[in-house]
Amino acid sequence: MHNPAATYVEETRFGFWFLQSHVWQHHVLRVAINDLRGLFTSALPESPLLLDAGCGQGKSFGLLAEAFKPARIIGLDADPHSLDCSRAEAARLGLEVQLIASDCAAIDLADASVDLLFCHQTFHHLVEQEQALAEFWRVLKPGGYLLFAESTQYYIDTWVIRWLFRHPMQVQKSAEGYLDMLRGQGFEFAADNVSYPYLWWSRAKDFGLLERWGLMKPKPVGQRHETLVNVVARKPLEPRS
């Protein structure tokens, strides 16, 4: 049963199953991590401590280890069953992953302790988004990076997603809304650090079939409702005056 006091909305049974599927790992996670890796315009931190905020069933661990070569991975999730799956996934991969049972709005880590914070398709489940982002800011070291990959309201608020999944609809945002939230917290990024993937699975109206069949030309960025936004955002070395 859903706890109305919780600061996140739990997955449906279908959602939990989908997060262990090949489609999720290959067409969603892998694509997002590769894209985020390409959005860095400066050198990656060497042997970083990487926090996977909302790690789910741990399907990101191997991909993150390959892409960012972290010295250590911490996986955080509020769902005990998901953490059990993450523990099994880390063991299967032979990775040492520290797992924390915690909500993103109250992270049990010290201030300025994390070099990279990966938040993939988690934010749209959170009720207290501003509080969670403030926690991300707190645990990141000055000069650390938030790797943020999120679906926008134009994907979440579609019939197929409403039917199969569960989300707090009152907090869903556009791509620009999420970018404004990151800027408001103090994160820094340029246009080269942002991408707007327009992937087939995020186009719940027709899954891009009209374009693939040649019946419609794809609309460019700026002339469409973005369904996804990826951004590599940096916490400045010096606090804002």
Per-residue pLDDT 10s for the chain (241 aa) are 334 345 666 666 655 566 677 777 877 899 999 999 999 999 999 999 999 999 989 999 999 999 999 999 999 998 899 999 999 999 999 999 999 998 899 999 999 999 999 999 888 778 889 999 999 999 999 999 999 999 887 666 555 555 555 555 566 788 999 999 999 999 999 999 999 987 555 455 554 444 554 545 666 556 677 888 999 999 998 766 5
What's the confidence (pLDDT) of residue 140?
A: 98
Q: Does residue 9 lie within any of the structural domains?
A: no
Q: Does residue 73 lie within any of the structural domains?
A: yes
pTM of the model: 0.83
Domain hosting 193: range is: 22-234
Q: How many domains does the chain have?
A: 1
Rounded to whole angstroms, the Cα distance separating 188 from 190 reads: 7
Q: Look-up: residue for tokens 């951004």?
A: 231
Domain with residue 28: its CATH number is: 3.40.50.150
Q: Does residue 2 lie within any of the structural domains?
A: no
> Beta-carbon neighbour count of residue 141 at 10 Å?
18
Q: Does residue 207 lie within any of the structural domains?
A: yes
Give the residue from 109, 59, 55, 107 showing the smallest Cα distance to 80. 55
Q: Does residue 174 lie within any of the structural domains?
A: yes
What's the confidence (pLDDT) of residue 216?
A: 52
pLDDT tens per residue across span 134-157 = 999 999 999 999 999 998 876 665
Q: Does residue 224 lie within any of the structural domains?
A: yes
Rounded to whole angstroms, the Cα distance separating 36 from 192 reads: 11
DSSP 8-state secondary structure symbol assigned to residue 194: E
CB proximity list for 156: less than 8 A, separation 6 or greater? 124, 167, 169, 172
> Beta-carbon neighbour count of residue 116 at 10 Å?
23
Q: Does residue 10 lie within any of the structural domains?
A: no
Amino acid code (one letter) for 193: N
